[in-house]
Structure 1
Amino acid sequence: MVFDENGCASSILASVFLTILYVASLYVWRSKLSRDHPTTIKRRFFSVSCVMVLAPIVTWLFLKESTLNKGDMYEQLGLRLSGLLFAFVTPLALTMILFLGPLTMQFLSGAWKIYIHPIYWFASWQDLTWVRNHIMAPISEEWVFRACMMPLLLQCLEPYTAVFVGPLLFGIAHFHHMFEQIKLGLDLRSSIMISAFQFMYTSLFGAYSAYLFLRTGHFVAPLAAHIFCNHMGFPNFGDIPYYPLTQRLLIISNMVLGFTIWCNLLTPLTEPAYYDNKLYWPSRFQFPNDISLF
């Protein structure tokens, strides 16, 4: 269906509407309970799931015929089989390289050893907060802010522009945490500073995630990166001084090395042709039609 064939006002408004819809779904339940209370988490699981059902309908309503002619609705949302395995493994590997420094800290501290114990994973799946942070939040956010929103923005914006415009809405959406922090007793100035910092790094991550989505044309690409980033959290630079000198040097070196390698590999390893992506990003070359990377 088409609401605005020539302009892009409807696409922008639809993207803003999706942002408001997602955040509003978290507050439809009137409660004094904290965001980490099991009842709050369960209620939000339900309301966010409803938004995930509505979001692609909103996207479909505001997609132009010319956009749908380039690829069906499933392709627009990044739901494809061609190149799927590569779209999961490569972005995950790239993100792990970016976190080489924090991964080194986990290795040196021995924290990584808990991952080899089945009890850790069993206990995690019983923890609603863990499920929210590692499963529900990444799936719902990537579905709404990448899969459903980016096709709308690309109707009137160049890919590089859309990569930075969309994540601004993603970053703004995180400002709702400020009200919860104030409700818990944090003063206004501190909550604003924390929320501004969250806006900064969530917007940067959103740009990275949007780039992965547009380059690969797969929903699973930013999802894998998002799950890993939520698992690692923001790097705890304050812990570095507590390591011995040689380990501190190794950690800092690996942080620089990881960032450098990531910068050099990001573009070549997300070449659209590797993922059979003919929809979102112009490719420098194409594979023959009879070759599939799945």
Structure 2
Amino acid sequence: KTAQRRNLCSFHSSLAPEQPPESFAASCVACWVCVLSCLLLACCYVGSLYVWKGNLPRDHPSVIKRRCVSVLLVAALSPAAVKTWTHWVDVSVLELMGVRMKGLLPALILPLLLTVETFTSVPPYNVIMRFIFPDGGSWRLCVRDAVWLRNQVVAPLTEELVFRGAMLPMLVPCTGPTAAIFTAPLLFGVETSALAHTVEIQNDFRQVSLNTGANSTEAFFLYTSVFGAFTSFIFMRTGHVAGPVLCHSFCNSRGLPDIGAALQHPQHSLLLFLYVLGVVMFLVLLFPLTDPFFYGAIPVCSLAPPSASVC
């Protein structure tokens, strides 16, 4: 442990040589404070959903509007938290959070193609077209639907900005990129499990609970942790938050693969084969489609030790 602290101190020293020596000692014990800061940011995000009093259901338009305002405000303030922990880096806060132009086009396309691979039980072309043109291209109806705006726009945008764009730059200098990929989703899962969010969406995970024998809280925690790790991986490999936002929006539109319905289908063998094929293709293409070659230098990787494998 002493050696690890010494290495961490030297790492911070190399990043901020202009700081006085006494600040290096403080940086050695700052990691747990950084993790607590991320936990506080998660509390602010999830807690902001419940500051509004009332007995209306979560899908009521007025409830959706108030909650959207809350999470958008938290997301807008999150760069200040990143600036606090990365003031010694010669990179803009927005670039560290994945808001940049270089490599944007591949960041919009390749991660989405990778995500679509898990839905090959349906022709990928049809999957993408239904996502781009919902309800037969009726965007006018979609933008007037508060539930659609929440699920497809506000929730993916704000969650990825806060839990990927803001938290990963704070975690990477202390934990390294690999550990940060798995830590950030746990913070969201813990907070949402601790609050009433899982009760509100228990119907969305009823089928998962029946298939796995787990309750809705366990199913939700597992899903958010696995999916959060995936989008964190995308963020670390591409340096863009746009890819995780699109993947998040796509998965919200598709939901979980209905394995139970596939088993009852007359051509269940073919459907199951296609599902397995999708998983295999996803694993095969995971690293090639997220190769930093397509996206240029990754700003958040400037915070990680040179030997970090993910970067």
TM-score norm. by structure 2 comes to 0.78
**CA spacing shift, 1:74–1:115, aligned 2, 3 Å:** closer
Matches of 2:235 and 2:198 in 1, distance apart? Answer: 29
Q: List aligned pairs for 1:1-294, cutoff 5 A.
A: 4-7=26-29, 8-65=31-88, 68-69=89-90, 71-101=91-121, 103-104=122-123, 115=134, 117-119=136-138, 121-175=139-193, 176=195, 177-180=197-200, 193-245=215-267, 248-281=268-301
What's the offset of the Cα at 1:179?
4.6
Matches of 2:272 and 2:125 in 1, distance apart? Answer: 13
Q: 1:40-96: per-residue Cα shift (whole Å, max 9, x none)?
A: 10110111111111111122122251xx23x22121111111100001100000000
Amino acid paired to 1:118: G
Matches of 2:258 and 2:38 in 1, distance apart? Answer: 33
What's the offset of the Cα at 1:236?
1.2
SS in 2 for 1:117: helix
Matches of 1:174 and 1:99 in 2, distance apart? Answer: 27
Total equivalences in the alignment = 269
* 1:215–1:277 contact (8 Å) kept in structure 2: no
Matches of 1:169 and 1:25 in 2, distance apart? Answer: 15
Matches of 2:95 and 2:109 in 1, distance apart? Answer: 20
Amino acid paired to 1:144: V
* 1:10–1:62 contact (8 Å) kept in structure 2: no
* 2:79–2:94 contact (8 Å) kept in structure 1: no
SS in 2 for 1:26: helix
Matches of 2:264 and 2:241 in 1, distance apart? Answer: 39
* Runs of at least 5 residues in structure 1 that lack an aligned partner in the other structure: 287-294
SS in 2 for 1:31: coil
Amino acid paired to 1:36: D
SS in 1 for 2:47: helix
Matches of 1:133 and 1:213 in 2, distance apart? Answer: 20
Matches of 1:217 and 1:12 in 2, distance apart? Answer: 21
* 1:77–1:147 contact (8 Å) kept in structure 2: yes
**CA spacing shift, 1:24–1:86, aligned 2, 3 Å:** same
SS in 2 for 1:5: helix
Matches of 1:181 and 1:124 in 2, distance apart? Answer: 21
SS in 2 for 1:80: coil
**CA spacing shift, 1:42–1:116, aligned 2, 3 Å:** closer
Matches of 2:289 and 2:69 in 1, distance apart? Answer: 37
Matches of 2:296 and 2:249 in 1, distance apart? Answer: 24
* 1:104–1:254 contact (8 Å) kept in structure 2: no
